[in-house]
Structure 1
Amino acid sequence: MALSEHEQRLLDQLEQQLHAEDPKFANSMATPAGSGMSTRRIVLGALVAVAGIGLLLGGVASDTPFSLILGILGFLVMGAGVYYATTRGKKGVPANSPAGRKEREASTSKNFMSNLENKWDERKRDQ
């Protein structure tokens, strides 16, 4: 369902205000064009999952004393492949961040939210 012109203007105003008050947070929340699922991860994860299924079936079909261990190992490999295929890589995540960063973000978000509430109240009074 498409947004009305009024809703689109409000959304644009909120986005501009967010970029003005906290551009670093706004840029981190923006979705880049290549942020979708990686085809390489999907293919590699699917291959690992198929190998896990093969191990699982091999463990079930064999009469060796290690068949239970082989079946459990196959199940774990299969699960790891599916997990790898369905998660996204962690690109651009810094290894270590400053200790006070979360406090600054919390105070910035409080100021941002209070400003949004004030502007919303002003709009309601004007209508």
Structure 2
Amino acid sequence: MALSDEEQRLLEQMEQALAADDPKLAHALRGTGVIKIHRRRALLAALGFVVGLAALVAGMETSPIVSILGFLVMLATAILAITSWQRVEADDAHSAPSRVTSEMGFMDRLEERWRHRDDGN
């Protein structure tokens, strides 16, 4: 079951509050290995794309089946590289909260959001 937008927002607020209150625990729970795995996966997918391109070109002279397989490898690895790299960017952006937000306490941020909500209406 997917989280609603409100639940997702509250979860992100709690994660940010945890990161501000206890950065060591948040770092241990978040894990830095995830970013490395996605970067490695994106790099391997890029290499697979090059292999698919070589098979595509080589298949033009030998067999159309090799070209088709090369194209399919290129397509699959391109999709894998894009999704992995997007995940790396999302993890990097999520792991580096702004300095102002990290200096504020959880209740201070809630009060500030409450004040901004009143200003918007």
Q: TM-score range by the shorter chain?
A: 0.3 to 0.5
Structure having the higher helix fraction is: 2
TM-score by length of 2: 0.43
Report the TM-score, using the length of structure 1 for normalisation. Answer: 0.42
Larger Rg over CA atoms? 1
Determine which structure has greater relative contact order: mean sequence separation of CA pairs < 8 Å that are 6+ residues apart, divided by chain length.
2
